[in-house]
Amino acid sequence: GAVVSQHPSWVICKSGTSVKIECRSLDFQATTMFWYRQFPKQSLMLMATSNEGSKATYEQGVEKDKFLINHASLTLSTLTVTSAHPEDSSFYICSAPDGGRYEQYFGPGTRLTVT
Amino acid sequence: QKEVEQNSGPLSVPEGAIASLNCTYSDRGSQSFFWYRQYSGKSPELIMFIYSNGDKEDGRFTAQLNKASQYVSLLIRDSQPSDSATYLCAVMGGKLVFGAGTILRVKS
């Protein structure tokens, strides 16, 4: 299957600071990538759809000014959590569909802890 | 009603038995159905996908889809302790929607 990487795998930051998470498709090009958030013992919740060369599409209830998404190339999307607060602590996972296929391949995830 | 529903479990089966995981969905327009396995602290891993009614087999895994009844299931034959994980059902309509997952425990 296709390979998606994320960096960093975990990060601890102080409240009020910003954190950038990178998502890369390693062996395929992805015009679309998806960002999910998963709280403990809960399922994945789609936050936003990242579109290469255009603005991201955010799900209802997700603050676009707080979760900045940039998809500058066909292999890289970034999620920046601005002015992070402890309630933003979560497992952030990106995914990308492989070309014209419907299957989505997930990155390994980034565990964010805001102190 | 949730869009994708799964029994949270845990479902406990002995090693070597068949594990049966079920999922129902509400959107009749859904076209693609996926099963992901997620180990604790890890991201989901795609196991199976199915688009057409009927069964699809891949090794020890069989996905079953019944669009009329709006359910999709996953059978795991010869269950192994390493199969112990949370299994997520996901349904693609306009976007991929996940169920809450079923915890599977295979006891040796």
Closest Cβ–Cβ partner in B41, B95, B101 for A43: B101
Q: Which residue of A lies nearest to B39 if distances are taken between CA atoms?
A: A108
Instruction: Flag if A102 and B98 touch (Cβ within 8 Å).
Output: no
Instruction: Flag if B49 and A49 touch (Cβ within 8 Å).
Output: no
Instruction: Flag if B34 and A44 touch (Cβ within 8 Å).
Output: no
Instruction: Flag if B100 and A42 touch (Cβ within 8 Å).
Output: yes
Q: DSSP 3-state assignment of B31?
A: coil
A12-67 per-position pLDDT tens digit: 999 999 999 999 999 888 889 999 999 988 889 999 999 988 899 999 999 999 99
Tokens of B53: 């009614």
Q: How far A40 CA sits from the closest chain B CA (Å)?
A: 9
pLDDT of residue A40: 87
Instruction: Give A103's pLDDT tier (boundaries 50, 70, 90).
Output: confident
> Beta partners for A113?
A12
Size of the A and B interface in Cβ pairs below 8 Å: 44
Q: How far apart are CA B78 and CA B75, in angstroms?
A: 10
Q: How far apart are CA A112 and CA A107, in angstroms?
A: 15
**B6 within 8 A of B101, measured Cβ to Cβ:** yes
pLDDT of residue A99: 66
* Rg, Å, chain A Cα set: 13
Nearest to B105 by CA among B7, B5, B15: B15
Q: How far B34 CA sits from the closest chain A CA (Å)?
A: 8
Note down pLDDT in tens along chain B; length 108 residues. Answer: 678 999 989 999 999 999 999 999 999 989 899 999 999 999 999 999 999 999 999 999 999 999 999 999 999 999 999 999 999 999 987 788 999 999 999 999
Per CB-CB distance under 8 Å, the chain A contacts of B32 are 102
Residues of A near B (Cβ–Cβ under 8 Å) read 1, 34, 42-46, 49, 91, 93, 95, 102-109, 111
Which value, to the nearest 10 degrees, does the dihedral of the CA atoms of residues A67, A72, A74, A77 take? -20
Q: DSSP 3-state assignment of B44?
A: coil
Q: How far B79 CA sits from the closest chain A CA (Å)?
A: 23
Count Cα atoms within 13 angstroms, Cβ side, for A115: 4
CA distances to A16, A108, A115 from A86, in Å? 9, 22, 6
pLDDT of residue B48: 92
A56-98 per-position pLDDT tens digit: 999 999 999 999 999 989 999 999 999 999 999 999 999 998 7
Q: Which residue of B lies nearest to A93 if distances are taken between CA atoms?
A: B43
Select the more confidently predicted residue: A110 or A100: A110
SS (H, E, C) chain A: CCCEEEECCEEEECCCCCEEEEEEECCCCCCEEEEEEECCCCCCEEEEEEECCCCCEECCCCCCCCEEEEEEECCEEEEEECCCCHHHCEEEEEEEECCCCCCEEECCCEEEEEC
Mean pLDDT for chain A overall: 92
pLDDT of residue B95: 81
Q: How far apart are CA B89 and CA B7, in angstroms?
A: 11
Closest Cβ–Cβ partner in A1, A43, A107 for B98: A43
